[in-house]
Amino acid sequence: MAKKNIAPDTRVRVDTWDACVDFPIFDAKTRSLKKSVIGAAGGVIGANASNVVVVEALKNINIHLKHGDRVGLVGHNGAGKSTLLRLLSGIYEPTRGACRVQGRVAPVFDLGVGMDPEISGYENIIIRGMFLGMTRKEMLKKIDDIAEFTELGDYLQMPLRTYSTGMRVRIALGVVTSIDPEILILDEGIGAVDAEFMKKARGRLQALVERSGILVFASHSNEFLAQLCDRALWIDKGEVRMEGGIDEVVEAYEGPAAAAHVRKIMAEVKADDSTKASE
């Protein structure tokens, strides 16, 4: 894709300073937890000063993102990736430490939020856009373009409850890539679309990130990470274990074969981009 010379917006930033998120679990018994337990998956389980069981989902997170950063989050189940996305979206406040997000955030992870199963795809496009801060009038101007992008045809007149997960994701991606969020927060769920559609969406997502700022994307799919991001954070038991290029982090997390696959995809994306740039 041809890079446009747009001056980076220094106002758009994401910063966290020693941010922690604990979940108190009031109905768990501390007596059965003799000491802090570390299992293979999940955050550390401990107890707070009042002897209430707490899950330490995030611990001392320091991240500093600026315009143009495209960061992937990798890590085991329960490592804290979704909690971090929610912290950056303002859904969770840090229990300790601080988190400051400057810019318009569009979270695309809870496809249930801002969508109504009983109304049509068309109407859902409008309410999803309104959920992300657009007006009805602005959405009406964009609806034809979004409808065409989703390729859902007559299905757009059917109630959303008749859609598959991937069809819902098409609507969510169509809406989010048609508006101009400054900070885009995506998770795994977008992997529910088929490969061909993802290829199309990738172009729009990349254009969106170039136009408007920061992407944070949590995924177990190295393929999607390599397509959308250029840096990665390995989240492990609520902490940032490593930060670096996608291939370096995947190599440390999953080994050389996975890293080789990531490098192959990065090379394909680069070749694809230079073809488009010369067109």
Ligand X SMILES: Nc1ncnc2c1ncn2[C@@H]1O[C@H](COP(=O)(O)OP(=O)(O)OP(=O)(O)O)[C@@H](O)[C@H]1O
Would you say 35 or 137 has its CB closer to ligand X?
A: 35
Least distance from ligand X to the Cβ atom of residue 220, Å: 6
User: Considering the rule CB under 6 A, would residue 209 count as an interface residue with ligand X?
Assistant: no
Residue type, 225: L
Residues 71-90 touching ligand X, rule: CB under 6 A, are 75, 77-83
55 touches ligand X (CB under 6 A): yes
Q: How far apart are CA 119 and CA 121, in angstroms?
A: 7
Is 5 or 77 the residue whose CB approaches ligand X more closely? 77
User: Which CB, 26 or 194, lies closer to ligand X?
Assistant: 26
Distance CA 269, CA 251 (A): 19
Does 16 interact with ligand X (rule: CB under 6 A)? no
Binding of ligand X at residue 159 (CB under 6 A)?
A: no
Contacts of residue 126, defined as CB under 8 A and 6 or more positions apart, other chains included, come to 136, 139, 140, 143
Q: Rounded to a whole number, what is the distance in angstroms from the first to the last CA of the chain?
A: 9
Q: How far is the CB of 61 from ligand X (least distance, A)?
A: 12
Of the candidate residues 57, 74, 125, 175, the single one contacting ligand X (CB under 6 A):
57
Q: How many residues bind ligand X (CB under 6 A)?
A: 13
Sheet holding 183-187, edge to edge: 105-108, 183-187, 214-218, 70-74, 231-236, 239-245
Identity at 251, one-letter amino acid code? E
Residue 95 Cβ vs ligand X, minimum distance, rounded to whole Å: 12
Q: Are 190 and 159 in contact (CB under 8 A)?
A: no
Q: Which amino acid is at 275?
A: T
**Using CA atoms, how far apart are residues 64 and 56, in angstroms rounded to an integer?**
21
Q: Nearest distance from residue 96's CB to ligand X, in Å?
A: 16
Nearest distance from C-beta of residue 265 to ligand X, angstroms: 21
Q: For residue 43, state whether it binds ligand X (rule: CB under 6 A).
A: yes
User: What CA–CA distance (Å, rounded) separates 275 from 196?
Assistant: 18
Contact call for residue 23 and ligand X (CB under 6 A): yes
Task: At 85, list the tokens.
Answer: 């996305």
Q: What is the contact surface with ligand X in residues (CB under 6 A)?
A: 23, 42-43, 55, 57, 75, 77-83
